[in-house]
Chains A and B, each alone.
Chain A
Amino acid sequence: MHLRSRGKTLNVSLSVLLCSLMLLLGACGGGGGGGSSTPDNSVTVSGTVTYEFIPHNEDFIGLDYSAIETRPVRGAVVELVDSTNTPVAITVTDDNGFYSAAVEANTVLRVQVKAQLQRNQAPSWNMTVNDNTNNNRLYALVGSEASVGDSDSQRNLHAPSGWNSGNYATSRPAAPFAILDAVYTSLQQFVDAGYSGNFPPLQLHWSVNNNTADGDLTRGEIGTSFYFDNEIYILGSVDEDTDEFDSHVVVHEWGHYIEDALGRSDSIGGPHQYGDYLDMRVAFSEGFSNAFAAMMLDDAIYRDSSGFNQSNGFMYDVREKNHPAQGWYSEASVESVLYNYFLSGTNKTAKDFSPILSTLTDSSYYNADSLITIFLFAERLIARYPAHRSALEGLLDEQDINSINQYADNETNSGNNSINLPVYKNLSIGGASTSVCSTSEHTDYNKLGVNQFLRLSITQSGNYIVRIERSGGDFVTQSDPDFFIHSRGEIIHEGASSANDVELQTVDLDTGNYIVEIIDYANVGRSSSVTTCFNVFIARQ
């Protein structure tokens, strides 16, 4: 690479620039034309790109290697690369996996299909599958190098799963393309719903080394498939947990990206499972992503394979309505409401994703003063689509969610603990302190009742003293009250000292509406059920 002459480097750069420009102008799209100017003595190289998809068993538990399907690689970037590793044409596959490009006759080249979805006209996207255990390099399906000859030719490329006689081979070429295809299916739903915005770039990280140890990401110790900070990591460890063919898992995580990238999410993440009493921000985000996966894939059965030969796993139907925990704090309730609303044909078009999408991307939603919860979503959706009110309200009612106001006014479901009502308490300036309690009854930091929420309205900018003081609750020697002040999804101030039983901070606040989150940090991860109560006071300095 370093031995390249200056002229050659320039040619390479120009070539790539030209191809990129043509992609930008759309000339390379849709598997139609080639990505560079057509030479006089050009020939056409075309073909179809496919990959092996391994479906789940008929009972949805585990993968069925006896039913392997061949599917087209759709929307992927195809490069025709010459012997100096220079792309001489760039295009993308169409919905049948077909590509076509014109190149100079007798050029020696290979076809390279990148694990990359790219579209440059609105809605634009650029999403790749990279190996986090190999310097985040991009995967590409690569054909053999040969002359194109002096007539048109076809080069069909197929990505095998690598499964042979009961085992995977070292290389599993289909995996990155299975992940991409789940994303592509979802992107098409956005196009069909009329979305015209652009998607921020996204890297999905997958490797055969991606295992369930929680450690160094570059070694593949990713713990589980997850979304974090505009990146997705997907498990790939054989006989342990692979997720490349678990499309619902891939799209669930992609749903978290969509929330963050196109709307807003206030989720604090963390472990969650069926039947949990969750922090309402987590319940909404996880319930949304479960329902979202079913909507995008048009398949209500969420399934996740794992174990020896990927033969184990679990499944459930997101349409289910009977759940052990029902309410605004239950991801099962949220997914049930959202998915059954999606299915509903009452005063709306069944399976029309656009009302949900337009609500998520509405500025009144992502700029809301309240937190992102089922309450806000319901309020904003009904505001945009009043005719859908009866359909949505009926579903909310079935899940014992009793308010369609972003601040959960008049909610009566306490999650079996009165400290959780009202959902948002009021905090007044210089007035009486507000009493809140934090509980560890549901054990983890992201469960119902650990965090409590207060509404705060500031009419005069300035410095304010915030004081939180232990006032009662169970007899425990230690509590550690902390607070976080949220402004439209951002934490703008925090008081998180380790002082026992008290927190005192001065914060500067502009006029506006805020949410103050109170937590007893000592209740995070406490092994027994403890409730501690505090007086919260704020005054202008």
Chain B
Amino acid sequence: MFQKKQGLFWLLTLLMVGGCSNEVATKAGSDLPSAAEPPVIAQEKSNDHHKTHRGKPGAEVSLRENPVHRLEPGVAADVDLGLSASYNQGEMTVTLNTSEGLFILEGATHYAFPLRDNGDYSLPLRLMAAEPGRYYVRIQVVVDYQGRQTTRALSAIVQVGPDTEPRQKTGTSEGVIPLPAQETVIQQP
């Protein structure tokens, strides 16, 4: 109950303080800088590049780094989501939003970048969530390059408070996940 009240308090405070800005703001000093964990999937030497996923086609844009951004509940922190785009010309538009409960306090939510050689593109944000949990900053990218438009959706992981979610076992469990059917039954006389 206390947690719920605390969450509501933070939500109201956040809405009053300013919510999401569409302007690029000057980077303010953070109350507590976000701590970044090492990348979830570490790049190893050796022939790891022979064992990489074969993903679907789309715009070749990725997060420059892929750490889990760690925040404390109710404490604002600065996070800079750098993008790498493998284009030397064209235009890239970027739209940001967050999963429910994570708020962008400062930072633009829409960008248009002219693409340049080996470009890195900075998306500075000030984030806060009232409740512990796993959140995401969602990034929609549209690239116009050499007469063709492609898209890519990306997400940055934001862990607020401790990560308490139990690990799932590997392998396949028995039993099915029931999906409710719309059913019609006709009994013959």
Interface mask (A366-378 → B, CB under 8 Å = 1, otherwise 0): 0000000000000
Q: Quick check: is B56 within 8 A (CB to CB) of the other chain?
A: yes
Residues of B within 8 A of A143 (CB): 181, 183
Q: Contact residue range for chain A?
A: 35 or more
Q: Quick check: is B140 within 8 A (CB to CB) of the other chain?
A: yes
- Taking a contact as CB atoms under 8 Å apart, the answer to whether B185 and A241 are in contact is no
Measured between alpha carbons, how far is A239 from B98 in the docked complex, in Å? 11
Interface mask (B63-97 → A, CB under 8 Å = 1, otherwise 0): 10010100000000000000000100000000000
- Taking a contact as CB atoms under 8 Å apart, the answer to whether A273 and B57 are in contact is yes
Measured between alpha carbons, how far is A219 from B157 in the docked complex, in Å? 11
How close is A174's CB to chain B, nearest CB, in angstroms?
Answer: 9
B56 in complex: contacting residue of A176, A253, A268, CB < 8 Å = A253
Of B4-12, B17-25, B105-113, B164-172, the segment with at least 4 beta carbons within 8 Å of chain A is B164-172
- Taking a contact as CB atoms under 8 Å apart, the answer to whether B179 and A273 are in contact is no
Interface mask (B132-172 → A, CB under 8 Å = 1, otherwise 0): 00101010101001101111011111000000010111011
- Residue from the set A133, A139, A157, A442 with the largest chain B CB neighbour count within 10 Å: A157
How close is B125's CB to chain A, nearest CB, in angstroms?
Answer: 16
Contact (A215, B169) CB under 8 Å given A173-B181, A302-B57, A314-B149: no
A203 in complex: contacting residue of B172, B178, B184, CB < 8 Å = B172
- Taking a contact as CB atoms under 8 Å apart, the answer to whether B49 and A221 are in contact is no
Contact (A443, B149) CB under 8 Å given A143-B183, A153-B186: no
- Taking a contact as CB atoms under 8 Å apart, the answer to whether B181 and A141 are in contact is yes
- Taking a contact as CB atoms under 8 Å apart, the answer to whether B178 and A140 are in contact is yes
The residues in A between 209 and 259 inclusive whose CB is less than 8 angstroms from any CB of B are 211-216, 218-219, 221, 223-229, 235, 239-241, 243, 249, 252-253, 256
- Taking a contact as CB atoms under 8 Å apart, the answer to whether A213 and B151 are in contact is no
Contact (A307, B86) CB under 8 Å given A151-B187, A173-B181, A211-B136: no
The residues in B between 21 and 72 inclusive whose CB is less than 8 angstroms from any CB of A are 40-41, 45-47, 49-60, 62-63, 66, 68
How close is B146's CB to chain A, nearest CB, in angstroms?
Answer: 5
- Residue from the set B47, B57, B142 with the largest chain A CB neighbour count within 10 Å: B57
Residues of B within 8 A of A272 (CB): 57, 60
Measured between alpha carbons, how far is A134 from B148 in the docked complex, in Å? 38
Q: Quick check: is A267 within 8 A (CB to CB) of the other chain?
A: yes
- Taking a contact as CB atoms under 8 Å apart, the answer to whether B176 and A114 are in contact is yes
Contact (A214, B52) CB under 8 Å given A155-B183, A171-B180: no
Q: Closest residue to B63 on the A side, CB-wise?
A: A214
Q: Quick check: is B118 within 8 A (CB to CB) of the other chain?
A: yes
- Taking a contact as CB atoms under 8 Å apart, the answer to whether B138 and A212 are in contact is yes
How close is B157's CB to chain A, nearest CB, in angstroms?
Answer: 5
Residues of B within 8 A of A139 (CB): 176-177, 179
- Taking a contact as CB atoms under 8 Å apart, the answer to whether B56 and A157 are in contact is no
Interface mask (A300-322 → B, CB under 8 Å = 1, otherwise 0): 00101011100011101000000
- Taking a contact as CB atoms under 8 Å apart, the answer to whether A142 and B181 are in contact is yes
Residues of A within 8 A of B156 (CB): 213
B151 in complex: contacting residue of A225, A252, A312, CB < 8 Å = A312
Residues of B within 8 A of A171 (CB): 179-180
Q: Quick check: is B3 within 8 A (CB to CB) of the other chain?
A: no
- Taking a contact as CB atoms under 8 Å apart, the answer to whether B146 and A226 are in contact is no
- Taking a contact as CB atoms under 8 Å apart, the answer to whether A140 and B176 are in contact is yes
Interface mask (A267-280 → B, CB under 8 Å = 1, otherwise 0): 11111111110000
Measured between alpha carbons, how far is A313 from B46 in the docked complex, in Å? 36
A227 in complex: contacting residue of B51, B54, B140, CB < 8 Å = B54
Q: Closest residue to B145 on the A side, CB-wise?
A: A275
Measured between alpha carbons, how far is A241 from B136 in the docked complex, in Å? 14
Residues of B within 8 A of A304 (CB): 56-58, 151
Q: Quick check: is A290 within 8 A (CB to CB) of the other chain?
A: yes
Residues of A within 8 A of B53 (CB): 223-224, 226-228, 269-270
- Taking a contact as CB atoms under 8 Å apart, the answer to whether A176 and B151 are in contact is no
Measured between alpha carbons, how far is A540 from B69 in the docked complex, in Å? 52
Residues of A within 8 A of B149 (CB): 314
How close is B153's CB to chain A, nearest CB, in angstroms?
Answer: 4
- Taking a contact as CB atoms under 8 Å apart, the answer to whether B86 and A142 are in contact is no
- Taking a contact as CB atoms under 8 Å apart, the answer to whether B49 and A270 are in contact is yes
- Taking a contact as CB atoms under 8 Å apart, the answer to whether A498 and B179 are in contact is no
Q: Quick check: is A491 within 8 A (CB to CB) of the other chain?
A: yes
How close is A272's CB to chain B, nearest CB, in angstroms?
Answer: 7
Q: Quick check: is A149 within 8 A (CB to CB) of the other chain?
A: yes
- Residue from the set A274, A312, A527 with the largest chain B CB neighbour count within 10 Å: A274
- List 18 other contacts, CB 8 Å, given A275-B148, A484-B50, A494-B46: A136-B172, A137-B173, A139-B179, A140-B178, A142-B176, A155-B185, A158-B183, A158-B184, A159-B179, A160-B182, A213-B157, A215-B41, A240-B140, A240-B153, A267-B54, A273-B57, A273-B58, A274-B148
Q: What are 21 A-B pairs at a CB distance below 8 A?
A: A137-B177, A139-B176, A140-B179, A151-B187, A151-B188, A156-B186, A157-B183, A158-B181, A158-B182, A171-B180, A219-B134, A224-B53, A226-B54, A226-B55, A227-B53, A273-B57, A286-B57, A304-B56, A306-B140, A307-B140, A443-B86
Q: Which residues of A contact B (CB under 8 A)?
A: 111-114, 130-131, 133-144, 146, 149, 151-160, 171, 173, 176, 203, 211-216, 218-219, 221, 223-229, 235, 239-241, 243, 249, 252-253, 256, 267-276, 285-286, 289-290, 302, 304, 306-308, 312-314, 316, 324, 331, 442-446, 484, 491, 494, 496, 498, 521, 524, 527-529
A-B interface, 4 closest residue pairs, ranked by CB to CB distance from nearest = A269-B52, A173-B179, A213-B155, A140-B176
